[in-house]
Amino acid sequence: MEIIRRRVKYPRIEIKPEGKIKVIAPPGYDVSGFVKRKQAWIDKKLKEISGLKRQVENKDDKFLLNGSYYELKAGSALEIDSIRNIMVMPELTELHSWIKEKLREEVSYKVKYISRLVDVNYSKIYIKRQKTRWASCSGKGNLSFNVAMMALPETLREYIIIHELSHQLERNHSKKFWKIVEQHYPNYKKAREELKQYSLMVAKNGIWNKLMEC
Ligand SMILES: [Zn+2]
């Protein structure tokens, strides 16, 4: 456990996806008492993380797509059987361009209608390989989305789009910003938690790792 002393108003505990615990508390604050009071919550979180780790193990030869693991089979043309979760995959580069194309199609369509709901404009849409973020937006209204978004369930892709478009109204992650997000995605807190888990799942998936490099 890492303890960070900082002049914060309220102490808090952060649990990283790898299970590392960080406590941020004001100087002189009784950290061990605080941790004791939060023990049940910490245990619950750690249990979730180890459950996720177990879930991710032995999935290295499977491909994470739309929130499900697909068994891969070699073949000459790309084919997806989403009932039995089997994917016929040619070359990795081909899979990469297919994913990029699919994502571009879906994201372009969704950005168009969600931008009307949020009532904002945008300029260009980029689909990129990004190591650390799902998406980002520039001051000029350009939107960049990570190809790894194809690993996510569709609803989380929608959350990401709503998040980025809401930044056109409010740059920072202020209370006002989250209010805007909430209007369009009431369950955004759960989505943020799930995205953290998916980051870990993508980072641990051998095929996604190769795809991000190829
Ligand atoms: Zn943001």
What's the gap in Å between 2 CA and the centre of ligand 1? 26
Question: Does the pLDDT of residue 22 top 90, yes or no?
Answer: yes
Contact 92, 214 (CB under 8 A): yes
Q: Is residue 214 very low, low, confident or very high in pLDDT (cuts 50, 70, 90)? A: confident
Q: Is residue 130 very low, low, confident or very high in pLDDT (cuts 50, 70, 90)? A: confident
pLDDT in tens, 50-69: 877 777 776 778 899 999 99
What's the gap in Å between 174 CA and the centre of ligand 1? 10
What's the gap in Å between 18 CA and the centre of ligand 1? 22
From the CB of residue 32, how many other CB atoms can be counted at a distance below 10 Å? 10
What's the gap in Å between 146 CA and the centre of ligand 1? 14
Q: Are strands 62-65 and 68-74 parallel, antiparallel or unpaired?
A: antiparallel
What's the gap in Å between 85 CA and the centre of ligand 1? 32
Half-sphere CA count of 104, side-chain side, radius 13 A:
12
| Neighbouring residues of 87: CB distance < 8 A, sequence distance ≥ 6 | 63, 65, 70, 71, 72, 73, 78, 79, 80, 81
φ, ψ (nearest 5 deg) of residue 86: -125, 140
pLDDT in tens, 78-127: 899 989 999 998 788 888 999 999 999 999 999 999 999 999 999 999 99
Q: What is the mean pLDDT of the chain?
A: 91
What's the gap in Å between 86 CA and the centre of ligand 1? 34
What's the gap in Å between 79 CA and the centre of ligand 1? 35
What's the gap in Å between 133 CA and the centre of ligand 1? 10
Q: Is 143 helix (H, G, I), strand (E, B) or coil?
A: strand
Beta-sheet strand order (sheet of 12-15): 2-5, 21-25, 12-15
- The pLDDT of residue 89 is 82
What's the gap in Å between 193 CA and the centre of ligand 1? 14
What's the gap in Å between 162 CA and the centre of ligand 1? 10
- The pLDDT of residue 64 is 93
- The pLDDT of residue 143 is 96
What's the gap in Å between 13 CA and the centre of ligand 1? 21
- The pLDDT of residue 124 is 96
Distances (CA, A) of 139 to 13, 120, 123, 172, 177: 33, 13, 10, 12, 16
Domains in the chain, please, with CATH? 2-56 (no CATH), 91-213 (3.30.2010.10)
CA distance 153 to 158: 9
What's the gap in Å between 73 CA and the centre of ligand 1? 37
Average pLDDT over residues 67-77: 89
